[in-house]
Amino acid sequence: MLEKQTLQPVDKVAMTLMVALTVVTGGLILGNKFCNNNCWFENRPRVQNFSWQDQVVGLEDKAFILTFDRPMDQPDVEKNLVINPALPGKFSWSGRKLAYTLETPIPYGETYQVKLSDVQEHFLGREKEGKTIQPFVGEFRSRDRAFAYIGTQGEEQGRLIFYNLTQQKKTVLTPPNLTVVDFKFYAKGDRILFSAADRALGFEGLRELQLYSIPTTGSDNPNIPLEPQLLLDNKDYQNNQFDISADGKIIVVQRVNRQNPADFDLWMLKEGEDPQRLKVTGGDFRIAPDSKSLAVAKGEGIGILPLQPNGKPLDFLPKFGQLLSFSPDGTAATVVNFNTDNAKMRYTRSLFYVNNKGVQKELLTTEGSIINCQFNGTNTEIYCLLTQLAKGKDYQEQPYFTKIDLKTNQVTPLATLPEYRDTKVSLSPDGLALLFDQVLASNQGNANTSLSTNAGESVLGGKLWLLIPPIATSEKQQPDLKELPLEGFRPQWAP
């Protein structure tokens, strides 16, 4: 009689695995037959990576990339890709990677979804025979709409204030002992560079300005502001006008030697380095968007100089007396020519568009003032604050906003203001809104304020306004002018 054999543990495990594999294989075969390309276990194409997934993007972000795990039917992908809200753009491919490049700056304060479904993988030499992609949903958002300004009333007077318009949240950034005179954002909008003096100095503080930086997030406790970081003191030199490069690595400051006022120069400040003379004299200046060159008003013209000591001029625009703005990509600028007709005792100003290809195009001439002009994000339009002389014996200027189409040279008035007094204008990064102030000032002086306009008048108060121009595709839409419930002046959008 044969002795009954007993299965060893390893044999039991092997048999169990064989049975399990048989069941799974059979299930896959039957499932593939009946599930019609919609089974979770099928090896279907998928989006392997989405470069903007859960990201916060801004003006500098031009394109996102979708990476697939295998070649796809490209026309089908382009046809079925849905972005909500819509973002006009162009497709380009490199193997399994799809790049979608935006045609216009992304509108701020929005959450976006990218969806893709019902497209097939692609086999060389065959069409419409691949498997259908796993449905994809990606999400990202643009930066909040936010800006900063200098407060004019109560405890906010002279202090730098950051306002998140999307979240309706206000943060006082600087301590009460400092009076802020001017400020500029760093490229990502996470920090602000500003000049300020001790509040106790009053108007004399304009001669005692120091440069600081501070984060825009402020302190967790609104009653305890963050301590600003001192970047440049005023011990030996008086600090005046300043600018910061687009990459945030260079600051240029106009400085005057306290012991020798004839020692008047531009200085360059880099992080971790001592201030360095550029040995450049002149009036107003601005760092170009390339962060490598500097535009300086010099006598009867504007010089373009490298950002290095004793640099040789790169270019010179002899007939223009004022630079208003650079285009975002640095290829063009708006400049002003001051015209004089001595025979007729007539003085006018002409606004010109100039670019790096030698084009110098006159856009308009006025007997009033050209206060401010800024490019939109696509370099196709500029928005300007101008004035025109009011009729009558008294010399009065009527301020108004206008839009100029750079392709057609068409000038479109947008809104008229009741008065102009040191108005500061800022165009939002997405080009959808103009932010400006309405300053209440007095030339009689006021002991209750240490704030002043560029003309030296005492600032008694300020209102902030939003001007939303009509959408380019809408001929019937009218500009929308809104007063904000904030008191301050010198507003500036965050990048």
Q: For the ranges 39-43, 102-106, 273-277, 280-284, which has the lowest average pLDDT?
A: 39-43
Cα angle value 223/226/231 (rounded, 5°)? 150
Q: Is the pLDDT of residue 182 over 70?
A: yes
User: What would the DSSP string read from start to end of 157-213?
Assistant: TT-EEEEETTTTEEEE-S-TTEEEEEEEE-TTSSEEEEEEEEGGGGGGGGGS-EEEE
Contacts of 40 (CB under 8 A, 6+ apart): none
pTM of this structure: 0.86
Q: What are phi and psi of 85, to 5 degrees?
A: -60, 155
Q: How far apart are CA 58 and CA 429, in angstroms?
A: 8
Q: pLDDT-derived band of residue 90, with 50, 70 and 90 as boundaries?
A: very high
Q: Is the pLDDT of residue 17 over 70?
A: no
Cα dihedral 70, 75, 77, 83 sign: positive
Write down the pLDDT at residue 1.
42
Please state, for a pLDDT cut of 70, what percent of the chain lies above it.
85
Q: Is the pLDDT of residue 419 over 80?
A: no
Contacts of 121 (CB under 8 A, 6+ apart): 45, 70, 71, 72, 73, 130, 131, 133
Q: Is the pLDDT of residue 221 over 70?
A: no
Q: How far apart are CA 457 and CA 165, in angstroms?
A: 30
User: What would the DSSP string read from start to end of 252-278?
Assistant: EEEEEESS-TT-EEEEEEETTS--EE-
Write down the pLDDT at residue 3.
46
Are the CB atoms for 491 and 148 separated by under 8 Å?
yes
The tokens for 215 are 């984060």
**For residue 389, what is the enclosing H or E element?**
strand 381-389
Total residue length of the chain: 495
In this structure, what is the dihedral angle of CA atoms 75, 76, 79, 85, given to the nearest 10 degrees? Answer: -120
Q: Residues of 342-379 as b/e, b for ≥16 C-beta within 10 angstroms?
A: eeeeeeebbbbbbeeeeeeeebeeeebbbbbbbbbbee
Are the CB atoms for 406 and 334 separated by under 8 Å?
no
The tokens for 5 are 């054999």
Q: How far apart are CA 197 and CA 218, in angstroms?
A: 20
Q: How far apart are CA 67 and CA 94, in angstroms?
A: 10
Are the CB atoms for 449 and 458 separated by under 8 Å?
yes
Domains of the chain: 1-42 (no CATH), 47-142 (2.60.40.1220)
Kindly state the average pLDDT of the residues 114-125.
85
Q: How far apart are CA 309 and CA 280, in angstroms?
A: 8
Q: How far apart are CA 137 and CA 83, in angstroms?
A: 10
Tell me 132's DSSP state.
B
Q: Within 10 Å of residue 325's Cβ, how many Cβ atoms?
A: 18
Q: Within 10 Å of residue 318's Cβ, how many Cβ atoms?
A: 10
Q: How far apart are CA 265 and CA 205, in angstroms?
A: 20
Please state, for a pLDDT cut of 90, what percent of the chain lies above it.
63
Residue range 438-486, pLDDT digits in tens: 998 887 766 567 788 877 788 888 999 999 998 765 556 788 999 999 9
Q: How far apart are the first and last CA of the chain?
A: 92
Q: How far apart are CA 478 and CA 468, in angstroms?
A: 9
User: What would the DSSP string read from start to end of 206-258?
Assistant: GGS-EEEEEETT--SSTTSPPPPEEEE--SSEEEEEEEE-TTSSEEEEEEEES
Q: Is the pLDDT of residue 82 over 50?
A: yes
Q: How far apart are CA 343 and CA 363, in angstroms?
A: 24
Kindly state the average pLDDT of the residues 401-409.
94
Mean pLDDT of the chain: 87
Q: pLDDT-derived band of residue 318, with 50, 70 and 90 as boundaries?
A: confident
Q: Is the pLDDT of residue 420 over 80?
A: no
Write down the pLDDT at residue 436.
96
Strand partners, 348: 339
Contacts of 485 (CB under 8 A, 6+ apart): none
**For residue 402, what is the enclosing H or E element?**
strand 397-405
Kindly state the average pLDDT of the residues 413-417.
91
Q: pLDDT-derived band of residue 152, with 50, 70 and 90 as boundaries?
A: very high
